[in-house]
Chains A and B, each alone.
Chain A
Amino acid sequence: MADPLLRVDGLTREFGDLTAVAGVSFEVGRGELFGLVGPDGAGKTTTLRMLAGVLRPTSGDALMDGISMAREPERAKPRLAYMSQRFGLYADLTVEENLRFYADLHLVPRAERAARLERLYRFSNLGPFKDRLAGKLSGGMKQKLGLSCALIHQPELLLLDEPTFGVDPVSRRDLWLIVHEMVEQGVTAVVSTAYMDEAERFDRLALLHQGKVLAVDTPSALQKGLEGEILELRTDRVREAKEAASKLPTVRRAAIFGDRLHLTVPSASADGPAVESALRQAGFAPREARPIPPSLEDVFIERIAAAEAAAA
């Protein structure tokens, strides 16, 4: 990548005998929305803490615009914002007082404050609640306020650690709208999530598992790179049908979703009819069969399986 904003190279962090992050490398372009996607314990938080300059790597480095986060994080910090899972809001200050507090902390010029608050209220829809105590906000609104506080100094790089954790779908969509607006205006953002269904929002993403990067690419390239296709169908006695389908030579993977089966096969059009016919003969009455696009979850499962097979 030519002139990335962030260059992460062999980033590693050990805690005693635990290696939380093991040689992670990727680059983030200017203005990109980049995802760190993986389950709890994959190393997302530790990676973000090192990118934010609040945790020193055991080895490796992350360069923000050429500045070493390992050696001189203080030089980069004014240009970035980091929202951790426990972002420090003051419960007994109002929404507006919290924003003003962070504006003071980041030395936002007085002349610019009103305009910035106005803009953040517009994005977050927090305007009507500006006199409410932060401690009295719902979880989703607290997250929006945290994000607004992180954005008050107009950082170039936004680092968000699971901003949508524990937030209901309506507030979650509002939070994403704020992030998308910021990115649209040129901010670079690195956002972590454990939820695969959020991964499609990223320009590019790194799939993290057990401290390592399994893949880095755009969502569509990851989906296109999946070997095989997913055949969705309904059957009778779906659990037994899954067992039977798993034994068919063309079925690499089978999973139940409610009353439906998802079967990973080399080709839905070429292999589907034989699979259906085998299930029909076994008495499972397959119906409503159709190919469905693989989800990023399907991609992740294949990548984890491949990594574990390589390790074994």
Chain B
Amino acid sequence: MNAKRTAAVEVEKLTKRFGDFVAVDAVSFAVEAGEVFGFLGPNGAGKTTTIKMLTGLVSPTSGRGTVAGLDIRTQGKEIKRHIGYMSQLFSLYADLTVEENIAFFSGLYGVPRERRAERRDWVLEMAGLQEQRRRLTGELSLGWKQRLALGCAVLHEPPVLFLDEPTSGVDPISRRGFWDLIYALAATGTTVFVTTHYMEEAEFCHRLALMNRGRLIALDTPARLREGLREPLLEARTSDGTRTIEALEGAPGVAQAGLFGRAVHVTLKEGEDAGRDRARLAELLAGRGIEVESIERIEPSLEDVFIALVERTGGAVVD
């Protein structure tokens, strides 16, 4: 069958005001079925309000949107039955066994009785929990708990799954295992909407949306966001970090300089020639009697991109 790619989440000029305050300001985007979509932004950016509108908990002031084909303004109740939700603080019952937790959430999500055994077995299989099925959930490692929490969140086969910092704090092997499960779900058409403060999680997403001050300020793949950063980055290793920063702040071509461990990360202004600036700044530092061990152009991390975009759009809200 020629499956047509349809948007699983779509919003157009979505806006939410609280009195004079515009929490979400004409945000538009579309997420395809089967996409792993990351939703980022500093505190106060409007992320939480957007998610609340998408899940039918808050109604928009203006604009429109659909989740799993349902209207977020009029079909909030139905939406809740068509989405799954898992956060790091997902409350599994520690003193129930793995199977008992699955049975409990099956009931909660209204999985039809005749399908419960099949769904339970599917979750145990997907999460690799067959051997732990009769163990108390509280005795499982964090990695296993997160797999179980994910399984419970998709018992009712929701077309759209919301994840909030799902793999915060797990070891990197468990984290990669968890994301393999997410990709497997996505491959069957489940749309995965991830919110996180951690770039380590953002790296796993197909596309990232970044919000600041109520607006959508970037939307692209992690790789293209990195390549698209217009401000080149230099890393300087010198005999004195503090004096290096003092010397560089306000120097021509320099947007910002700050300590990163022993090194100083220097953000150049948009359109600066990193090669020429490298030599020029090395001269400038030498002229101030600062010994320069090295000064090199470095690839920006996703966090560098995130911070540059937030600062370009007025900085984060500070309260």
Alpha-carbon distance A170/B303, docked complex (angstroms): 9
Name B201-247 residues within 8 Å CB distance of A: 203-207, 221-223, 241-242
- Is B7 at the interface (CB under 8 A from chain A)? no
- The residue on B at minimum CB distance from A259 is B206
Binds A, one of B13-21, B259-267, B271-279, B285-293: B259-267
- The residue on A at minimum CB distance from B259 is A180
**A184 to B197, Cβ gap below 8 A?**
no
- Is B74 at the interface (CB under 8 A from chain A)? no
Q: Which residues of A contact B43 (CB under 8 A)?
A: 138-140, 168, 171
**B172 to A200, Cβ gap below 8 A?**
no
Q: Which residues of B contact A209 (CB under 8 A)?
A: 171
- Is A217 at the interface (CB under 8 A from chain B)? no
Alpha-carbon distance A33/B43, docked complex (angstroms): 28
Binds B, one of A2-10, A56-64, A89-97, A250-258: A250-258
Alpha-carbon distance A305/B173, docked complex (angstroms): 9
**B168 to A169, Cβ gap below 8 A?**
no
Q: A40-B170, A168-B43 are in contact. Are A184 and B310 (CB under 8 A)?
A: no
- The residue on A at minimum CB distance from B141 is A41
- The residue on A at minimum CB distance from B241 is A184
Query: In the complex, how many angstroms separate the beta carbon of A145 from the nearest chain B beta carbon?
Result: 13
Query: In the complex, how many angstroms separate the beta carbon of B220 from the nearest chain A beta carbon?
Result: 11
**A41 to B176, Cβ gap below 8 A?**
no
**B197 to A169, Cβ gap below 8 A?**
yes
**B241 to A197, Cβ gap below 8 A?**
no
**A201 to B197, Cβ gap below 8 A?**
no
- Is B307 at the interface (CB under 8 A from chain A)? yes
Q: Which residues of A contact B95 (CB under 8 A)?
A: none
Q: Which residues of B contact A239 (CB under 8 A)?
A: 183-184, 187
Q: Which residues of A contact B179 (CB under 8 A)?
A: 256
- Is A300 at the interface (CB under 8 A from chain B)? yes
**A166 to B197, Cβ gap below 8 A?**
yes
Name B164-204 residues within 8 Å CB distance of A: 168-174, 176, 179-180, 183-184, 187, 197-200, 203-204
Alpha-carbon distance A39/B168, docked complex (angstroms): 9
**A297 to B200, Cβ gap below 8 A?**
yes
Alpha-carbon distance A197/B141, docked complex (angstroms): 23
Q: A139-B43, A166-B197, A168-B316 are in contact. Are A180 and B261 (CB under 8 A)?
A: yes
- Is B301 at the interface (CB under 8 A from chain A)? yes
Q: Which residues of A contact B310 (CB under 8 A)?
A: 170
- The answer, among B168, B206, B262, B306, for a CB contact under 8 Å with A258, is B206
Alpha-carbon distance A139/B316, docked complex (angstroms): 13
Q: Which residues of B contact A201 (CB under 8 A)?
A: 260-261
- Is B142 at the interface (CB under 8 A from chain A)? yes
**A39 to B169, Cβ gap below 8 A?**
yes
Alpha-carbon distance A171/B318, docked complex (angstroms): 10
- The answer, among A167, A197, A256, A301, for a CB contact under 8 Å with B301, is A197
**B307 to A170, Cβ gap below 8 A?**
yes
Alpha-carbon distance A239/B206, docked complex (angstroms): 13
Q: A170-B310, A173-B307, A203-B261 are in contact. Are A40 and B199 (CB under 8 A)?
A: no
- The residue on B at minimum CB distance from A257 is B203
Alpha-carbon distance A185/B36, docked complex (angstroms): 44
Q: Which residues of A contact B301 (CB under 8 A)?
A: 197
**A197 to B261, Cβ gap below 8 A?**
no
Q: Which residues of B contact A53 (CB under 8 A)?
A: none
**B203 to A304, Cβ gap below 8 A?**
no
- Is A211 at the interface (CB under 8 A from chain B)? no
Query: In the complex, how many angstroms separate the beta carbon of B286 from the nearest chain A beta carbon?
Result: 20
Q: A169-B199, A197-B303, A258-B222 are in contact. Are A184 and B259 (CB under 8 A)?
A: yes
Alpha-carbon distance A238/B182, docked complex (angstroms): 13
- Is B319 at the interface (CB under 8 A from chain A)? yes
Query: In the complex, how many angstroms separate the beta carbon of B228 from the nearest chain A beta carbon?
Result: 16
Alpha-carbon distance A27/B259, docked complex (angstroms): 24
Query: In the complex, how many angstroms separate the beta carbon of B317 from the nearest chain A beta carbon?
Result: 9
Interface contacts beyond A39-B170, A258-B221, A304-B173: sample of 16 additional A-B pairs, CB < 8 Å, sorted by A: A39-B171, A39-B174, A140-B43, A170-B315, A176-B260, A177-B259, A202-B261, A255-B176, A258-B206, A258-B207, A258-B222, A259-B206, A297-B172, A301-B173, A304-B171, A305-B173
User: B residues near A, CB below 8 A?
Assistant: 36, 41-44, 141-142, 168-174, 176, 179-180, 183-184, 187, 197-200, 203-207, 221-223, 241-242, 258-262, 301, 303, 306-307, 310, 315-316, 318-319
